[in-house]
């Protein structure tokens, strides 16, 4: 099926971040039409009916989230844009912010109009200096053109957008950690409920949406719900709770591939197609061994493991909101696909992963703080050839126990730290056992730094 990118359609145009160019391509006409012709509730209804699900990782239905705001609240109501993109090998938001910031800003304007917010905070990862400067220039252009500020185009609608640079920690991307950081505090996630829609920034109702989600809002409102639903994967008829995986999606391809890049495709492409057709295949003529389907916290896919009653393998799973769950991974996550080649040590890869999560745990909850540290210590022991037979079962047990599902921790970081551990051990157990037996001698190479355009 031929597919024309929409979210990335403008990124290679000269001066793509400039207002003039965006205007020339019909930019802001959708927002201006909504101001004149639609009530805020109609915008919310359209986004809800489109089936758009959040692109930050959790896939929560966007329009539904907006309806959780208290009715007839006197305000203020805030929109927080989550641009603290820190999941390893994820850089789809960065491309949008650097190359087409006005598409994102138009989505913010539409969302704020829909939720009756007059103030949006754009919380952007500290390391994204170019994106920050590009966005600030775009925001300034909008103020100068009367698209932001008081009484926009005589509609009576006021809107301010403030950029706020992050604090250089992964946990600032957790929505309540982000809010705490925005308020000037340490980014310690809050216990939910209350969810931010009820009590968020400065204890006021707040919607937190990801950058790509807001770019999708622009496109949904511009092109309509029939267009959006013509792309992607409809709900699974066998699962009445499935909301489907509609629309275009930005996938980032990283790790041991020939051409790491960000591509836009309809939801539901398989890992195999993504890597072989779009990522130029596995590098150095090697084969893939494992893949993270959507960021480290989703766990590992074993590309050689056969799917039940099929000739296909886990490499053939579709990357929609349901696909990775079918092969015991956590979910689609950020759709950042990271490939590990067949000459690389999974023990070493897992060591990298455990280092990351142990470092990034905010330390509030004992199971997460201690559990991520224990897992790192054990995997380090395995890597140094001092592993013990019982270590693998201990690792799986710790990774299962620190998850958010048993209700032991405040946020999802601990769950995300556990999935790569349990999937690596369960799916590549023989390699871990060989590492214990070999006492440090391994036929595999050390894990090289992961190659990706973002990290």
Binding site for ligand SF4 (CB under 6 A): 171, 189, 361-365, 368-369, 409-411, 413-414
Burial (CB count <10 Å: 0-12, 13-18, 19+), residue 82 = buried
Residue 341 binds: one of ligand NAI, ligand SF4, none (C-beta under 5 to 8 A by kind): none
Beta-bridge partners for 270? 318
212 binds ligand NAI (CB under 6 A): no
Residue 409 binds: one of ligand NAI, ligand SF4, none (C-beta under 5 to 8 A by kind): ligand SF4
Residue 143 binds: one of ligand NAI, ligand SF4, none (C-beta under 5 to 8 A by kind): none
Spatial separation of the C-alpha atoms in residues 369 and 279, rounded to whole Å: 36
Spatial separation of the C-alpha atoms in residues 421 and 351, rounded to whole Å: 9
Residue 368 binds: one of ligand SF4, ligand NAI, none (C-beta under 5 to 8 A by kind): ligand SF4
Q: How far is CA 120 from CA 7, 51, 182, in A?
A: 21, 23, 12
Q: Which of 333, 367, 403, 452: binder of ligand NAI (CB under 6 A)?
A: 333
The residue number with the shortest CB distance to ligand NAI is 57
Identify which of residues 30 and 361 has a Cβ nearer to ligand SF4 in the complex: 361
Scan residues 357-386 and list those touching ligand NAI (CB under 6 A): none
Identify which of residues 114 and 413 has a Cβ nearer to ligand SF4 in the complex: 413
Residue 410 binds: one of ligand SF4, ligand NAI, none (C-beta under 5 to 8 A by kind): ligand SF4
The residue number with the shortest CB distance to ligand SF4 is 368
Smallest separation (angstroms) from ligand NAI to the CB of 337: 13
Q: Which of 30, 117, 245, 334: binder of ligand NAI (CB under 6 A)?
A: 334
Spatial separation of the C-alpha atoms in residues 123 and 207, rounded to whole Å: 13
Smallest separation (angstroms) from ligand NAI to the CB of 297: 6
56 binds ligand NAI (CB under 6 A): yes
Q: Which of 188, 195, 227, 283: binder of ligand NAI (CB under 6 A)?
A: 195
Identify which of residues 105 and 411 has a Cβ nearer to ligand SF4 in the complex: 411
Q: Which of 106, 175, 302, 348: binder of ligand NAI (CB under 6 A)?
A: 175
Residue 254 binds: one of ligand NAI, ligand SF4, none (C-beta under 5 to 8 A by kind): none
Q: Give the β-pairing of 248-255 and 261-266.
A: antiparallel
Smallest separation (angstroms) from ligand SF4 to the CB of 189: 4
Query: Looking up tokens 């009530």, which residue turns up?
Result: 39
227 binds ligand NAI (CB under 6 A): no
Q: Which of 63, 173, 268, 318: binder of ligand NAI (CB under 6 A)?
A: 173
Identify which of residues 30 and 409 has a Cβ nearer to ligand NAI in the complex: 409
Spatial separation of the C-alpha atoms in residues 349 and 324, rounded to whole Å: 20
Total of chain residues touching ligand NAI, rule CB under 6 A: 22
Examine residue 76 and say whether the peptide bond preceding it is cis (omega within 30 degrees of 0): yes
C-alpha closest to that of 441 among 379, 382, 377: 382
Residue 333 binds: one of ligand NAI, ligand SF4, none (C-beta under 5 to 8 A by kind): ligand NAI
63 binds ligand NAI (CB under 6 A): no
Neighbours of 130 (CB within 10 A): 11
Where on the chain is the footprint of ligand NAI (CB under 6 A)? Answer: 56-58, 60, 65, 68, 85-87, 90, 173, 175, 195-197, 208, 295, 297, 331, 333-334, 412
């Amino acid at each position: 099926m031929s597919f024309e990118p929409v979210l990335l359609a403008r990124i290679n145009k000269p001066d793509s971040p400039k207002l003039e160019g965006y205007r020339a391509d019909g930019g802001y006409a959708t927002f201006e039409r909504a101001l004149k012709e639609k009530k805020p509730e109609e915008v919310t209804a359209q986004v809800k009916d489109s089936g758009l699900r959040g692109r930050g990782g959790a896939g929560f239905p966007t329009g539904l989230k907006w309806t959780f705001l208290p009715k007839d609240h006197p305000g203020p109501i805030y929109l927080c844009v989550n641009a603290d993109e820190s999941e390893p090998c994820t850089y789809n938001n960065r491309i949008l912010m650097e190359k087409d910031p006005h598409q994102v800003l138009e989505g913010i304007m539409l969302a704020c109009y829909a939720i009756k917010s007059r103030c949006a905070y754009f919380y952007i990862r500290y390391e994204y200096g170019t994106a920050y400067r590009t966005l600030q220039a775009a925001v300034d252009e909008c103020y100068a053109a009367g698209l932001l500020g008081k009484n926009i185009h005589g509609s009576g609608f006021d809107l301010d957008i403030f950029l706020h640079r992050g604090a250089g920690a992964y946990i600032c991307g957790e929505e309540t950690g982000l809010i705490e950081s925005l308020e000037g505090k340490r980014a310690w996630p809050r216990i939910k409920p209350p969810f931010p829609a009820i009590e968020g920034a400065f204890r006021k109702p707040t919607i937190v949406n990801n950058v790509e989600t807001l770019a999708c809002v622009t496109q949904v409102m511009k092109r309509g719900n029939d267009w959006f639903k013509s792309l992607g994967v409809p709900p699974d008829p066998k699962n009445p709770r499935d909301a489907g995986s509609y629309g275009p999606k930005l996938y980032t391809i990283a790790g041991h591939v020939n051409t790491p890049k960000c591509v836009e495709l309809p939801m539901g492409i398989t890992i195999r197609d993504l890597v072989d057709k779009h990522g130029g295949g596995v590098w150095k003529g090697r084969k893939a061994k494992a893949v993270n389907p959507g960021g480290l916290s989703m766990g590992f896919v074993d590309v050689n493991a056969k799917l039940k009653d099929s000739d296909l393998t886990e490499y053939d799973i579709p990357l929609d909101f349901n696909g990775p769950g079918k092969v015991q991974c956590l979910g689609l996550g950020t759709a950042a696909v990271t490939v590990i080649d067949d000459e690389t040590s999974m023990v070493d890869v897992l060591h990298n992963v455990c280092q990351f999560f142990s470092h990034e745990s905010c330390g509030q909850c004992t199971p997460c703080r201690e559990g991520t540290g224990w897992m790192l210590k054990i995997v380090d022991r395995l890597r140094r050839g001092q592993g013990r037979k019982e270590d693998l079962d201990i690792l799986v047990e710790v990774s299962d126990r620190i998850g958010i599902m048993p209700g032991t921790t405040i946020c999802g970081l601990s769950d995300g730290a556990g999935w790569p551990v349990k999937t690596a051990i369960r799916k590549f157990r023989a390699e871990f056992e060989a590492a214990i037996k070999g006492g440090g001698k391994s036929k595999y190479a050390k894990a090289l730094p992961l190659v990706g355009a973002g990290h």
